[in-house]
Amino acid sequence: MTGASRSGISRGVSDPTFVPDSQQRGLVAALPPQLRDYAMLARFDRPIGWWLLFWPCAWSVMLAGGEQRLGLIAWLLVGSIAMRGAGCVLNDIVDADLDRKVARTAQRPVASGRVSKKAAWGWLLLLCAVGLVVLFQLRLEAQLVALGSVALVAAYPFMKRITWWPQAWLGLVFTWGALVGWIEIRQDQLGALAALYAGSIVWCIGYDTIYAIQDREDDALVGIRSSARRLGQHVRLGVGGFYALAVAFWGLAFWTVRPDWVGLMALVPVAMHLGFQVVTLDTADGDNALARFRSNRDLGFVMVLACWVVGNAGVV
């Protein structure tokens, strides 16, 4: 990892309370310090997280033929922002002691003591209340599916202590929105949904393995497990394998909705984007890994277009 990404100071920001991968811009940077701490606790300074949570929701809506449900997509975006924030707050409460031992996370609000755990719990409940408002916008079946993720979310912070593959658990959690979006639109063709969800899970394992490259040294010192550490010198090969599986599963989902080889062509830009990430990944450079990780925001939009093309053509 480069010295810049280990310094504990965000690029272009002099305040040492900003973590290295923070993107302090606009309203978050302008907030008073106390309010800024709560914004950072929910990772509002790092929008990539809620984009990655939101995209599988949008994919399933589009592939299921719900391209006219723009209101639903907007609600799912709001829910993604709120629930990603809630998940981050829970993670920071549970991981406060570990975060203090890692350079990149030592200045997080709870780990540094700037926000008490009691206050963090209050903030968590408020974010969950926003998520509850979003939940009420869904049909009952989709509500039940959404609630099914609660146990998985609650267990995630502990996975890095008991398994070398916490990224796999994150994949289950972070792409759950694909199930919610699909069931809100339709309740048939569940094979296509299963393939879309499976592809989304391995995509998440791939990009979060790239993200974990930044912390391999500190993780080894404090005993945190990750797929990046487990793969060792084979990280690029592993990420490439996960991404290849993602494309294969997504191809199966597309074929199930529209059994036409032309429909599979919509995945070509997606595969090219993922291939670029793998080919250009430098596992010795934390800045490079962070950039490749963040590029999945753009990948998500490319995949939305692919799902829209196939889902729109496949609706009868």
Q: Give the model confidence (pLDDT) of 120-163 as tens digits.
A: 999 999 999 999 999 999 999 999 999 998 888 888 777 777 77
Cβ(264)–Cβ(255) below 8 Å: yes
Q: Please say if the pLDDT value at position 165 is more than 70.
A: yes
> What integer pLDDT is reported at residue 21 of this predicted model?
54
Q: What is the pLDDT of residue 1?
A: 31
CA 39/CA 92 separation, integer angstroms: 13
Of 93, 98, 100, 96, the C-alpha closest to 127 is 93
Q: What is the pLDDT of residues 23-70, one digit of tens each?
A: 555 677 778 878 888 888 898 888 898 999 999 999 999 999 998 999
User: Tokens standing for 123?
Assistant: 């903030």
pLDDT tens digits, residue range 180-191? 999 999 999 999
Query: Is the pLDDT assigned to residue 110 strictly greater than 60?
Result: yes
Is a pLDDT exceeding 50 seen at residue 271?
Answer: yes
pLDDT, tens only, 64-92: 999 899 999 999 999 999 999 998 898 88
Can you tell me the mean pLDDT for 190-205? 96
- pLDDT interval class at 316 (50, 70, 90): very low
Confidence at residue 269, expressed as pLDDT on a 0 to 100 scale: 97
Mean per-residue pLDDT of the chain? 85
Percent of the chain with pLDDT over 70: 85
| Residue 189 confidence (pLDDT) | 92
With tokens 């267990």, the residue in question is 155
Q: Does the structure show a pLDDT above 60 at 172? A: yes
Average pLDDT over residues 263-275: 95
C-alpha–C-alpha distance, residues 266 and 290, integer Å? 27
How far is it, in rounded angstroms, from Cα 103 to Cα 46? 17
pTM of the model: 0.84
Cα distance between residue 176 and residue 182, in whole Å: 10
Please check the confidence at residue 212 and state whether its pLDDT lies above 60: yes
Q: Which residue has the higher pLDDT, 132 or 229?
A: 132
Q: Are 97 and 103 in contact (CB under 8 A)?
A: no
Q: What does residue 108 show for φ and ψ, rounded to 5 degrees?
A: -60, 150
Which position has the higher pLDDT, 29 or 300? Answer: 300
